[in-house]
Structure 1
Amino acid sequence: MLSKLRTALKSWIGIAVLGLILIGFSFFGIESYFVSQSDTSVARIGDQEISQDQFRDRFNDYRQNMMRQQGEGFDSRVLDSPIVRRQVLDTMIDEHTIIAANEKLGVRVPDQRVAEEIAAIPAFQVDGVFNQDQYRAVLSMQGLSSRALEQDIRTGMATREVPMQLYTTSFVTGAEVDAYLRLREQKRDFGFVRIDKPADAGSEPVTDEEVKTYYEANQADFMNPEQVAVEYIELDAAKLKVDLDPSESTLRERYEKEKSRFTTEEQRLASHILVKVGGSGSPDDQKQALTKAEGLVKQVREGKSFADLAKAESEDLGSRNQGGDLGWLEKGMTDPAFETALFALEPKTVSEPVLGADGYHIIELRETRPGAIRSFEDVSTELAAEYVETERERVYNEKSGRLVDLVYQDPSSLQAAAEDAGVEVARTGLFSRAGGAEGLAANPAVVKAAFSDAVMIEGNNSEAIDLGPNHIAFVRVAERKPAEAKPLAEVTGQIKERIVAERLAGAAKSRADALFARLEKGESLADLAKELGTEVSEQKGIGRNAVNLDAALVQAVFAMPRVTEGKPAFRSVALGGDAYALVQLEQVVDGDPSTLDAPTRDAARTTLQQGTGYLAARDFVAALRREVKPVVNEKNLN
């Protein structure tokens, strides 16, 4: 292609075309030819966006959680549903919406709560107790900074803060509890006759003609699915050969470069009271806020409890209930004015009012922790372990980057890329879109890539397939077997079973419908039972959770309307195994809340409060979403 372009540019036509291109660049800028103008986000919430990478990372986290929870019972095909993908996206939209609302409401998660949340993470614990060395080691292996982790934790907690406050502060009245208990404890009297499927409905032989007709009408049910076999190469960091014995000089060099990781900054345990500037923020408004703040300082210095004042007067919703507690703070964690005042205080003292971005702060310094540096000898073992991981990752990154380039350079073969990377081209057996039984073909991501248009139809190499941390693969179709109908002889027995089952189901329903029609016209349930050679099963005082009756029967009975005088209620209920029940509802008796003890009522109140709280939190988030009007780009949700 490049040689053709060079030849064309030597002609006067090529020069003219090049001139037009340059004119276009001069008007629109060369970057407009290389930067896509389309919206590549998955969703937009106001001026915020959720990128495809962010969504992909969250969806992968969701997949991993499902795999851990369900174990061997995990079915990856469920995650291919657009409904599931949209549910994950809706959760992300809700989080962005709540964070934006928190900023308007002034909700802030105190540092102490963030610290407690981190300390409770098992990965950071030794013998069940938070360990600072373990914390740093895990962060280093994950390539995370403590500040980044704290921000992630803070964001996660912030998205739950207001909804949880709504959830936990919901209440229900005594009348609502009584109404709930009357329904929950309701009892119903009814009679029913069970109608088993007719035994002789499937006795008539199924003819060959019926089998053939059924086969032709339902051909899609009797297909061998389309199958492919793929060639593949994979690169796994865990299997790479690397230098795993670093010298002391190498480790010392690493220690000097990363000494800040092993340095504990001076920390200060602080509380604060926030007095916001009201109105429009005018000088008079600021003066009024300052006067109030100075009055609070005076109260503290006269002996008033700082925590009590914070609970009563602070306008920081996030720390007020904790008596203004902000936890342990380091430099760089607060705004400059707050930080300057805090680090100028002596322990057990209170600052004058400090003007910050959100109002006047009154700061109490409760304790201090001096900074410290861990020695090389203390961390050499930790550094050696990290070296092994980072060196393996470095080699993997180099090899994987080159491997990707080579696979893309020649999309018609994997051989050259495999030889350069020192890996072999392997091959799977045939598998369908449902996946293979073992090996690479059992991986949902591999199956999806193998059956993609680019690989299966265009015959190209796949893009890099993520098989796990630092583990990728590429595939290309080696063999393709189209879908084909199974021979009639192979499925004749299956078809006959279906025909007999459908006959029985149809006969059972027809019989039940006919008997129910007679019941509605006035014949008694007892007469119908006698005709069937059975008796009416009379049920008295049956509750919603009856365990000795068919669940479908009980559910249907409690879905029936109340009996009106002189007008009985009837229903035909489908049971399992093509059986039916003809039901006559006789009496409905509500529960009596006055007969229930206090623990039962308290449990009912808790249940209602939880339901009410959930609805309040859900409605709050829905209202926020209506206000910000998020926009979803469905085409990018893949």
Structure 2
Amino acid sequence: MLQAMRNKMHGWPSIIVLGVCVFAVAFFGIEGYIMSRAETFVAKVGKHEISQQDFQDRMNQLRQQLSAEQGDSFDPDAFEKPEMKLKVLDGMIDQQLLLKANQDWGIRVPDQAVRDYIAAIPAFQINGQFDPATYRTLLAEQRKTPDMFQDDVRASLSTQALPNAIDASTIVTDAEIDHFLDLRMQRRDISYAVLPRPQPADATVTDTQIADYYKAHLADYMNPEQVSLQYLEVNGADLKPDAAPSDADLMKRYESEKQRYVQPEQREVSHILVNVPANATPEQQKAALAKADKIAAEATPENFAKLAAQDSDDLGSKRQGGDLGWLQKGVTNAAFDTVMFALKKGEISKPVLTPDGYDILWLRDTRSGEAKSFAEVRDQLLAEATAGDKDRKYNEVAGKLSDSAYQNPSSLEPAAQALGLSVKTTALFSRQGGEGIAANPKVTKAAFANDVLVQGNNSNLIELGNDDAVVIRVAKHVPAAAKPLAQVHDEIGKTILDQRIAAAAKQQADTLLARLQKGEALAAVAASANAGIKSANEVVRIQADVPAALRDEAFLLPHPAEGKPQYAAVDMHDGSYALLAVDKVQGADLSKVTPEQRNMLRQQMIQAYGAVATQELIKSLRNSTEIKIAKDRM
């Protein structure tokens, strides 16, 4: 067939057709003709794709974080709402925009900053000091290598690099602080009179009026829908392991996890860093090396700490004389590691080029690797094995309870008999919850869910806490129903009367306010309503001895002119009203503000201004970057 095609391919038309085909294949790639590329990203920020896996990982992290913080009040369904998913994705997009800006503008996180951050994490410390063995063990449990975790930390710190730089460059002047304090601590002299509640024009409420009100507001007089539950509970605290682990079992565990108990070879190191800027010119590199050579030539064990405090560009260690503490292989970069483990105790290195610049190392001490014996860690192994057995026992029983309740959806008795559990019952409770397990929002939500309440099925396993779970079913259902009129008759009568009094009180206050605004004195107007006058001078925005409603209104009124107070009628939110007069306004007494308070306020204002500037930067980056969002893949 190919020969036949060749025989027919003659002349310039054929050459043109062949040329077009060759160009298309070369330009688009032959795979474009034999397969189509399925796009799987949730969002695309410029050329960077946020994958579905990345998005789900972030959702899971936030879900676990909020669950730990909120406990029983945590609502997992919130993460299924489109607006929550979009909010999380927007945050990931903002982070990627900041990372790309870092890359474009040459901003990077130094290795030392990553090391300092990791060393400060309490989970990796023993007695307040970073412990490498604990670090490796915890990472192994999360199936991460130190390099993977350091990359995660670097990415997290990178998203803060620009905001931190913005904060550092934000200037808040003394005048701005004074202006804020002048508003925040402004003082006002006020007078006020709380008016007695008037009697309504009609103090009689008839049965007909009560019946009409009852019909018009029936929803306000309903007994709520209620249920009582049957439930089976599995609590890990009540479960006993089948048998205690033997020494042979513990020894087997020790041998399989021996790496956990090995203390690697370590070096106690101090260093002096001469920073080399990102994208440094050859002249800058030479200048940095010359400076490092000079420091190295002068350095001795006796003056090393002084030189570090004086010349080191590592802000994290220079205050400690360059001390980095005890380090092991893999914690620092490869170049640093090589020199650190090549030095002899007491030696000072020549400058070594690392990603941060030129490092001068002083090896102060060494610690050989060692392993803890089985006897030293037996108690720890026993505690871990016992806890593990207890967890397995709980998971086994909870799993069987879940399976049995699912296989027998109309009753809890089969599961109770199979597992030796007792069926317990709750009192009636509404959708607002009740007592015992009904106080848990997860239980309340499940109790009123369609499959449990309407279809009459057992619930899924509901986790109440660590190693504590229940399965529920509805034992009794009481639908919502209107309370009998006779039961709420007097309550409705009082409500109608209170509404009449409130309307009369407002009318009275408005009438008296009109008299004040026409020029009558507050004393005369208040006296006509049998109300006494109270005064308070230099009232500030937060002042406990002045009713909140009056205080809030006082700071909304305009400044008064000399001898002409500003007036208002104020709803006291208890059915009464007050007449308010603002007589005088003064600025803050700045002499009462301590230097410490001013510095604290300055930092708060810097953070607030910096946050606004960061959001403006992100907005600008969004406008200049092509962003695609695939909502159907969220």
Normalising by the smaller structure, the TM-score range is: 0.7 to 0.9
Whether the 8 Å contact between 2:305 and 2:322 is mirrored in structure 1 is yes
Q: Normalised by the size of structure 1, how large is the TM-score?
A: 0.74
Q: Hey, what does 1:456 align to over in structure 2?
A: 453
Shift of residue 260 of structure 1? 1.4
Does residue 529 (structure 1) correspond to residue 529 (structure 2)? The answer is no
Cα deviation code 1:531-578 (max 9, x no counterpart)? 223455455444545554333323322332112358642222222532
Whether the 8 Å contact between 2:299 and 2:348 is mirrored in structure 1 is no
Q: Hey, what does 1:371 align to over in structure 2?
A: 369
Q: Hey, what does 2:173 align to over in structure 1?
A: 173
Q: Hey, what does 2:109 align to over in structure 1?
A: 106
Query: Aligned partner of 1:342: which letter?
Result: M
Query: Which of residues 105, 114, 118 is equivalent to 2:122?
Result: 118
Query: Aligned partner of 1:193: which letter?
Result: A
Query: Aligned partner of 1:610: which letter?
Result: Q
Q: Hey, what does 2:4 align to over in structure 1?
A: none
CA distance, structure 2, for counterparts of residue 258 and residue 77 of structure 1? 36
Cα deviation code 1:327-386 (max 9, x no counterpart)? 432222233333223222223434445455565554443433322211111111221111
Shift of residue 511 of structure 1? 1.1
Query: Which of residues 50, 65, 84 is equivalent to 1:58?
Result: 65
Shift of residue 390 of structure 1? 1.0
CA distance, structure 1, for counterparts of residue 583 and residue 186 of structure 2? 14
Range moving further from structure 2, 403-412 or 219-228: 403-412
CA distance, structure 2, for counterparts of residue 328 and residue 249 of structure 1? 35
CA distance, structure 1, for counterparts of residue 350 and residue 521 of structure 2? 88
Whether the 8 Å contact between 1:94 and 1:625 is mirrored in structure 2 is no
Query: Aligned partner of 1:62: which letter?
Result: E
CA distance, structure 1, for counterparts of residue 407 and residue 194 of structure 2? 71
CA distance, structure 2, for counterparts of residue 470 and residue 389 of structure 1? 11
Query: Aligned partner of 1:605: which letter?
Result: R
Whether the 8 Å contact between 1:272 and 1:361 is mirrored in structure 2 is yes
Equivalent position SS for 1:233: strand
Q: Hey, what does 2:27 align to over in structure 1?
A: none
CA distance, structure 2, for counterparts of residue 345 and residue 624 of structure 1? 47
* Unmatched runs of 5 consecutive residues or more in structure 1: 1-26, 68-75
Whether the 8 Å contact between 1:45 and 1:96 is mirrored in structure 2 is no
Q: Hey, what does 1:423 align to over in structure 2?
A: 421
Q: Identify if the C-alpha distance between structure 1 residues 163 and 409 changes in structure 2 by more than 3 Å, giving closer, same or farther.
A: farther
CA distance, structure 2, for counterparts of residue 510 and residue 77 of structure 1? 46
Q: Hey, what does 2:212 align to over in structure 1?
A: 213
Whether the 8 Å contact between 1:167 and 1:612 is mirrored in structure 2 is no
How much identity, in percent, do the aligned residues show?
34
Aligned CA-pair RMSD: 4.9
Shift of residue 296 of structure 1? 0.6
Equivalent position SS for 1:193: strand
Query: Aligned partner of 1:97: which letter?
Result: Q
Query: Which of residues 441, 444, 451 is equivalent to 1:444?
Result: 441
Range moving further from structure 2, 165-174 or 420-429: 165-174
Range moving further from structure 2, 513-522 or 93-102: 93-102
Whether the 8 Å contact between 2:299 and 2:307 is mirrored in structure 1 is no
Does residue 584 (structure 1) correspond to residue 591 (structure 2)? The answer is no
CA distance, structure 2, for counterparts of residue 278 and residue 109 of structure 1? 16
Q: Identify if the C-alpha distance between structure 1 residues 471 and 183 changes in structure 2 by more than 3 Å, giving closer, same or farther.
A: closer
Q: Hey, what does 1:189 align to over in structure 2?
A: 189
Whether the 8 Å contact between 1:273 and 1:314 is mirrored in structure 2 is yes
Q: Hey, what does 2:462 align to over in structure 1?
A: 465
Equivalent position SS for 1:206: coil
Cα deviation code 1:254-281 (max 9, x no counterpart)? 11111111111122233352644643x8
Does residue 611 (structure 1) correspond to residue 604 (structure 2)? The answer is yes
CA distance, structure 2, for counterparts of residue 408 and residue 207 of structure 1? 57
Does residue 395 (structure 1) correspond to residue 399 (structure 2)? The answer is no
Q: Hey, what does 2:297 align to over in structure 1?
A: 301
Q: Hey, what does 1:488 align to over in structure 2?
A: 485
Q: Identify if the C-alpha distance between structure 1 residues 508 and 403 changes in structure 2 by more than 3 Å, giving closer, same or farther.
A: same
Equivalent position SS for 1:328: strand
Residue correspondence of structure 1 range 256-295 to structure 2 within 5 A: 256-270=255-269, 271=271, 273=273, 275-276=275-276, 278-279=278-279, 285=281, 289=285, 292-293=288-289, 295=291
CA distance, structure 2, for counterparts of residue 623 and residue 218 of structure 1? 49
Whether the 8 Å contact between 1:354 and 1:362 is mirrored in structure 2 is yes
Range moving further from structure 2, 579-588 or 614-623: 614-623
Q: Hey, what does 2:225 align to over in structure 1?
A: 226
Whether the 8 Å contact between 1:187 and 1:591 is mirrored in structure 2 is yes
Shift of residue 514 of structure 1? 2.0
Whether the 8 Å contact between 1:172 and 1:605 is mirrored in structure 2 is no
Query: Aligned partner of 1:330: which letter?
Result: Q
Shift of residue 117 of structure 1? 4.7
CA distance, structure 2, for counterparts of residue 95 and residue 219 of structure 1? 49
CA distance, structure 1, for counterparts of residue 370 and residue 397 of structure 2? 39
Shift of residue 393 of structure 1? 1.6
Q: Hey, what does 1:19 align to over in structure 2?
A: none
Shift of residue 609 of structure 1? 1.0
CA distance, structure 1, for counterparts of residue 316 and residue 239 of structure 2? 49
CA distance, structure 2, for counterparts of residue 572 and residue 345 of structure 1? 82
Shift of residue 512 of structure 1? 0.7
CA distance, structure 2, for counterparts of residue 91 and residue 332 of structure 1? 34
CA distance, structure 1, for counterparts of residue 368 and residue 94 of structure 2? 37
Query: Aligned partner of 1:329: which letter?
Result: L
CA distance, structure 2, for counterparts of residue 102 and residue 425 of structure 1? 60
Whether the 8 Å contact between 2:411 and 2:458 is mirrored in structure 1 is yes
Shift of residue 298 of structure 1? 3.5
Shift of residue 60 of structure 1? 0.7
Q: Hey, what does 1:549 align to over in structure 2?
A: 546
Cα deviation code 1:157-188 (max 9, x no counterpart)? 88888867877886643333443454455443
Aligned residues: 578
Query: Aligned partner of 1:367: which letter?
Result: D
Cα deviation code 1:303-331 (max 9, x no counterpart)? 38666766777666766776655443222
Whether the 8 Å contact between 1:97 and 1:628 is mirrored in structure 2 is no
Range moving further from structure 2, 185-194 or 624-633: 624-633
* Unmatched runs of 5 consecutive residues or more in structure 2: 1-33
CA distance, structure 2, for counterparts of residue 60 and residue 95 of structure 1? 24
Q: Hey, what does 2:595 align to over in structure 1?
A: 602
Equivalent position SS for 1:559: coil
Cα deviation code 1:65-121 (max 9, x no counterpart)? xx8xxxxxxxx49999899x9699779948983995888441553545644552898
Residue correspondence of structure 1 range 39-50 to structure 2 within 5 A: 48-49=54-55, 50=57
CA distance, structure 1, for counterparts of residue 607 and residue 168 of structure 2? 9
Q: Hey, what does 1:253 align to over in structure 2?
A: 252
Shift of residue 415 of structure 1? 4.7
Q: Normalised by the size of structure 2, how large is the TM-score?
A: 0.74
CA distance, structure 1, for counterparts of residue 440 and residue 522 of structure 2? 57
Does residue 477 (structure 1) correspond to residue 474 (structure 2)? The answer is yes
Shift of residue 389 of structure 1? 0.6
